[in-house]
Amino acid sequence: VKKIEAEGIKLDEPVRKNEATGVALTYITDPWGTRIELVQRPPSP
């Protein structure tokens, strides 16, 4: 997400993180209006 924001891409909503699973979730919209879900999972053990 930090790389995306550094490129000037705006997030549609703040990142939400599930503390139990460690999964972070947000959305962006491409220039054609397609909404894209971004999911970041924690590293596997």
Indicate whether this model's pTM tops 0.85: no
Pairing of strands 16-17, 35-40: unpaired
Tokens 């972070």 correspond to 24
Given this model, what pLDDT does residue 21 score? 94
1-45 pLDDT tens trace: 889 889 999 999 999 999 999 999 999 999 999 999 999 999 987
Provide the residue count of the chain.
45
Three-state DSSP at 4 gives helix
Given this model, what pLDDT does residue 15 score? 95
Q: Which two tokens stand for residue 8?
A: 């000037």
Burial of 2 (0-12, 13-18, 19+ CB in 10 A): exposed
Given this model, what pLDDT does residue 30 score? 94
Given this model, what pLDDT does residue 38 score? 96
Three-state DSSP at 31 gives coil
